[in-house]
Structure formats: C-alpha cells, structure tokens
Amino acid sequence: MDGASQPKPDWKIGVDIGGTFMDFCALETVSGRVASLKVLTTPDDPGAELLDGLCLLAEREGLDPAYVTRFVHGTTVGINTIIQRKGAKLALITNAGFEDVIELARLRMPDMYSLFCHRPDPLIARDMVFGVPVRMRADGSEALAPDTASVAAAARQAQAAGAEGVIVALLHSWRDTSQEASVKAMIEAATPGMFVFTSSEVWPVIREYERTSTAILNGYVHPRVAGYLTALESRLDAQGVPAKAMLTRSNGGLMSAGQGRRDCVSMLLSGTASGVIGASWLARQAGEARVLTLDIGGTSADFALIVDGEVQYGTDEQVGEFPLHIPSVSVSSIGIGGGSIATLGALGVLRVGPESAGSNPGPACYGRGGTDATVTDALAVCGWLGHSEMAYGQLRMNVDLARQAVGVLADQLGRSIEETAQAIIDIAVSEMFVEVEKLCSRAGVDLRDFALMPFGGGGPMLGAFLAQELGMSRVIAPRRPGVVSALGGLVSDLRGDFIRTVYAPLEDATLPQLEQDFAALADEGRAWLDTQGFDGTADLRLSADMRYAGQSFEIEVALSPDWLNAVDQIAAAFHETHKRIYDFEDPDGKIELVNLRLSALGGAPKPTFPVSQATQEQATADRHVPVWINGWCDVPIYDRAQLGGGAVFDGPAIVAQEDTTFAVPPGASAHVDAHLNIHLSLVEQSNV
C-alpha cells in the first residue's frame, strides 16, 4: 500500500475462542470500519484457526497484517486442560502432617442430600504429595527450618515418578515467603529441569487450601499454555503482525503473552470475564449503568451483574470442578442452554436439563442425528427459529425434525406439539430464573431497575422471555452479540492484581505497616506494568479485605491511599460497605484488616466505534412467518443488517442476523439506538 498521501490504516483486533468458533472483532480506526466474524475451531491444532481468521479478514476487509497495532487474545487452552484433565504431572511438596490439605479441601461437598456425594479427585494424586519436615508459625517465626537433604530426596523421588513440575505450598507462607523460596531453590538445585511454583508467588493469600489449589492450577496448565503462547507468537510473527500479543485475564484486564507463560492461572476464566467487560462497555455506550448480562450457549447460561457501571469481582469462582481464588470477574453459571434436553418425570411433570445434546449431535433440528427434544427444538417448533441461516451459514434448521422430537413428548403428555414446545421454553426460562434470583439475593440487588443484555449465540433467543419472568422491563440487544468477548478484549486495560496479607486489628499501631505495604504494592504494580511494555501513567487502585472481629469472611472495601494515616476514614468506609452488602453495621465493633490489595491498571486509548444517525422511523419487515404464541400468529421478521439507528417496531417480532435470532415477545416495543443496539420496553406480564 502506498501510504504517502493516505493515512496508514490502523487495525485493532480482538480474538476470543469458544467451544465451536473462534470469534474475531476487528476495528480499523482510521476509516471506522468494524468487522466481526467467526471461524470454526481446530481442536487438533489449537491456534491454527487464527490464520483462517486473518486470511478471511484480509479477503473480506482488506486487512494488511503489517498494520495491526493491537492484538488481544482470549484463549481456552488453560481451562480445557483442566476440564479434560490433560495437564502436567505434578508433585506437591508441603509440610509433613498436612499432606491431605488438597484432598480434604474445605470438607463441605456439593449435592449434600445425596449419600453418593463426593469431592473431585485432586489434580495431584496422594502418592505425588511429599511431606517434608519444615514449619513456620502463624507469626512468621520459623519453628523448623527446611533441610536440604529431605527436600532434595522428595524432589528426586518426584522426578523419578515422572513429575514434570513441583508445587511448593507451606503453612503460613502468606506471612513470609522466604521458607517457600528456599525450598524452591533446594528443589531447583537437586532436580534441574523440573519447573517449580511456590504458592506465595502465585497468590500469597491466607488460607492454605485456597492458596495451594490456586498454585496447583497454575502449574497444571503451565506447560500447555506456555507452548500454545509460543506457537501463537510465532504465527503472528510469520504473518508479519507487528503488535505484541496481549492476553485477556479472569480479572477482566490484559497482560502480555510473556507474562501469561508463567501467570497461567490468571487467564483461566478470561472468556467469560471479557464477555462481561465487553457487555459493560456496550452498556455504557447505550447509557445503561445497571445491567444483567446473559450469555447462553449450547450447554450452559452465564449471568453477571454490572452495578453502577462496574463489573463485579469475586474470589471464589469455579474452574471446572475446582475453585479459583484469584480476583475474577464474577460470573454465575447454570447448566441450561439451547441443547438442554426435555424429559418426563413422575406424574407427567416435564423437566428440562441437566442432560444436554451438546454440539454433537446437538438439537434434533440440526439434522446431525439428535433425536431428543431440546430447548432449541422447542423454539424451532414455535416458529421463533428456523427462518434464516444460522451461525454464519454453517447450520440449517430442519423444523420437521424438531417437531418429531417434541412430538414424542407431546404424545406421552397428550398435548399438542406446540403446547409442549411452549412448556419446554417456559421451564428452561424458569430454571434460569432460579439462578438469577440466587445471584441477585447474594448481591443484594433488585433487578427491577436493571436492563438485561443478552449475547452469545443463544442469549437473544431467550433473553426477552427471561426478562419478563424476572419482572424486568428493559432489554438491550447489542448489534454483534456473537463477538462480545472478543470486543471485551479490545476495550480492556492492562491489569495486574497484588495482595499483602496483613491480618491485624485496624488501629493506629497497624498504620505504619499499611503504609509500608502500600508502598511495596505500588512498586510491584508499577514494575509489573513496566514489564508488560506499558509506558503511560499507572492507575493504582487500593482496597482492603476487612471484617468485624469474630467474622470468618471478609469484604473488599475500596480505599484511598490518603486514608492510610487515618483509622477513622478506613473504618468509616468499612462500616458503610458492610451496611450496603449485609444491611447492617456495628459502629462499635472491632475491625480486622486481613488483606491489602492493589490493582495496577494501564489504560490503552479506547477505540471509538462509528455512530449512526438516529431519526425515528418505522422499521420495515422482511416478511411474516407463523409463530406459536398461545396459537399461531403472523409475526414480522426484521433483518438486523437493515435496522438503522432510529428504527422502531413492536413485538411480537423476530430479528434475524447471521449469528443469532432475537425473539421479541408480544407487548414489547423496540427501538434501535445510534450504536445500533435494539432496546426493548416490556410490559409486565401476569398469568402467562
């Protein structure tokens, strides 16, 4: 390209990988062109789909890799390694007498009414756990120093048994990391070639099970993730992409690919996290500060809350069967999706899920051999689906097959196929209703002043029905619901999280330590941003995990560094936060400060997306199709690509686009905003 007279193009690309597709969201900032696409994943050669996508972007949009200035990637290679249990063979070196910390976990088990309940097998079998004589006390003093001989013997035994790496997790390393560090050095000297992670370098938090299991997850995925990232970087290099690859993280931020090789655990939940980040960015554009996001796939539905413009964080998210204890964007999940199967139980009561037809064979209507009636089949029977191509032309629906599958249940029930299909949809929605209600009561929010934002392939199909069930009156459907996670990566900042466990009463005597810890955390944060290649001004956010003395759990309270010399201001912030979350405060209660946290953010200039002119105008329907809404009615179909800013229409309606179908129920009124989001206003339904 001869760029002497023309400004050079400037491409920013976000890429996120899902179960079936790799999603691309590309923005060319000079012309304001936005492109999104999906390519099928290549499970046998993870990363190869990247080239397919770049080629397609070149073909369709004229992308020249030489002008890619930002490349952000979210990968599932880590989480898949855990779910498939195909990670590294690890050994654990820990204190003698405490070898079973990972097997006992926190004792409590899921499914507690069943006599067959059990915990997942740990990722490290008991014969690969080595207790060595070493002990630190709770105050950080050393009761028993590690001795080289027994550590080296354990390491050699581990290596002989086939360990690729070692996790070192010792009691009270949250207080002082030196004991773990010296054990690590002993192992490295005795058995070069095995990689070693200590629990305190991965995430130095108090609570031995949580810290140990987080370090194990990190080591377990490390070889695969590092290998994947090396391949990714060389592929980008080969394509002539000058931008350094950035990775999305579970905390909704970014890090460099180099960081990701060692800090593997921080990317495990990046897919769902960047979905919520993308959704929050879209919501801000659409002027919504309080949003429930809904991402429905084939086997599950994910929900998250955005409160006053902020995504919510938690430290007890789930990765496969294991809890993950690093700060992560909080997302709730339920095993109900488009592929969930309907069955009949006692007294002819219809149930949906948890069994799923998955993506193979998938719903009956996909024509891949599935015969069970799924939620997608029910939507097809009722006419909400099946009028256009799906998944960028890679799927065609066969409504007859859907009718056959649902018909089997209808016969058993003695009902019509349509009534049965409607019941399946209602039940699937009510299953999600339970999960959202739990989420809201935990968070203490009232959904009535929230808007629901559905995305993903299935979110828009059921989103408006779920909003009605929840008594919500507003739904926003973004223009490109299939690539929200990829977009999320594109609009994220670098973000590193750092923690110091303080565990001291909040009183004047503790303040010097807090100031010292804050200074150390700030240095750590700035240095981290430096190594990610960031040269702007660091945005440092301080918070503390605090509780009333006697409580066994903490809440995170945002702090200003200015308050570190004033107990009163810290206490006031804590009382106020406690009141907001738990509905009560105890102004005379003693406060304990457990952790000091710092997030270091390195902001990138935010891309601006084109804005369309919005003049109100009645939308024109493509055609009408029959849809079952307590009887067959004629319902208009709108083509999403034709809906410009300002377009208005009323439900019932169907909006079809290449990657999803948006079902608009009766009584809804829709308008399209300048960013091409569709906003629905719903009337309250009763006695449906």
Partner 1 sequence: MSDKMTLQVLANHARAAAENMAHTLHRTAHSAFVKETQDFTVLLMDRIGDTFAVPMDLGATWYPGLSHGPAIEMVDDYRPGDVAFTNDPYSGHVATHTPDTHLWRPIFDGDDIVAFAGGHIHNTDMGGAVPASLSRSLTEIHQEGIRFPPMKLVNEGVFDPQILRIMETNVRKPALNIGDIKALAGALSTGERKVQAMISRFGKTGFLQGVSALMDQSEAQARDILRAIPDGEYVFADYADEDSDEANPCRLKLTLRITGDSAVLDFTGSDPQLASSLNVPSGGNPRHTILLVGVYYVLYTLNPRMLLNTGMTRPFTCIAPEGTVLNPVEPAAVGMRSLTCARLRSVIFGAFSQAIPDRMPAAPAGNNCIVNVMTRDERTQKTVIAAVNPVVGGGGGMPHRDGSNGSGADAAYLKNTPIEITETEVPVEFVKYGLAQDSGGAGYWRGGLATEMAFRVFSPDTRITARNRDRSFFRPWGTLGGHAAGLSDMMINPGTPQARPLGNVDTAILEPGDVLEIRSAGGGGRGDPLQRPAERVARDVLGGYVSVDAARHEYGVVITDGVVDEDATTALRASMTPHTQHFHFGPERDGYEAQWTDTAYDLLTQILADLPIHWRFFTKTEIFRRMKGRKGPEGVTAAFAEVCERFPALPHAAPRKEAAE
Distance CA 11, CA 365 (A): 39
For residue 315, how many C-alpha atoms fall within 13 Å in the half-sphere facing its CB? 19
Q: What minimum distance in Å lies between the beta carbon of 221 and partner 1?
A: 23
Distance CA 336, CA 424 (A): 12
Tokens of 277: 């980040």
CB-wise, 54 or 101, nearer to partner 1?
101
Distance CA 154, CA 418 (A): 65
* Residue type, position 519, single letter: A
Distance CA 153, CA 191 (A): 10
User: Cβ distance 675 to 288 under 8 Å?
Assistant: no
Q: How far is CA 48 from CA 59, 65, 228, in A?
A: 17, 16, 11
Q: How far is CA 461 from CA 354, 426, 429, 479, in A?
A: 19, 13, 11, 14
CB-wise, 79 or 591, nearer to partner 1?
591
CB-wise, 93 or 542, nearer to partner 1?
93
Q: What minimum distance in Å lies between the beta carbon of 198 and partner 1?
A: 15
Tokens of 478: 């973004």
Q: In this structure, what are the phi and psi dihedrals at residue 302, rounded to the nearest 5 degrees?
A: -110, 140
CB burial of 289-322 (b: ≥16 within 10 Å; e: otherwise) equals ebbbbbbbbbbbbbbbbbeeeebebbbebebbeb
CB-wise, 551 or 612, nearer to partner 1?
551
Q: What minimum distance in Å lies between the beta carbon of 606 and partner 1?
A: 35
CB-wise, 336 or 491, nearer to partner 1?
336
Q: What minimum distance in Å lies between the beta carbon of 108 and partner 1?
A: 4
Q: What minimum distance in Å lies between the beta carbon of 305 and partner 1?
A: 14
Distance CA 427, CA 430 (A): 5
Q: What minimum distance in Å lies between the beta carbon of 517 and partner 1?
A: 17
CB-wise, 155 or 424, nearer to partner 1?
424
CB-wise, 257 or 447, nearer to partner 1?
447
Distance CA 317, CA 266 (A): 12
Distance CA 563, CA 139 (A): 26
CB-wise, 170 or 676, nearer to partner 1?
170
Q: In this structure, what are the phi and psi dihedrals at residue 671, rounded to the nearest 5 degrees?
A: -140, 155
DSSP string covering 553-621, please?
S-EEEEE-GGGGG-HHHHHHHHHHHHHHHHS---TTS-EEEEEEEEEEEEPPPPP---------EE---
CB-wise, 392 or 548, nearer to partner 1?
548
Q: How far is CA 420 from CA 167, 407, 417, 466, in A?
A: 53, 8, 5, 18
Q: What minimum distance in Å lies between the beta carbon of 501 and partner 1?
A: 9
Q: What minimum distance in Å lies between the beta carbon of 551 and partner 1?
A: 7
Q: What minimum distance in Å lies between the beta carbon of 544 and partner 1?
A: 17
Q: What minimum distance in Å lies between the beta carbon of 325 and partner 1?
A: 12
CB-wise, 97 or 626, nearer to partner 1?
97
CB-wise, 580 or 606, nearer to partner 1?
580
Q: What minimum distance in Å lies between the beta carbon of 136 and partner 1?
A: 10
Q: Spell out where 116-210 has E strands.
A: 129-132, 135-136, 142-144, 165-169, 195-198
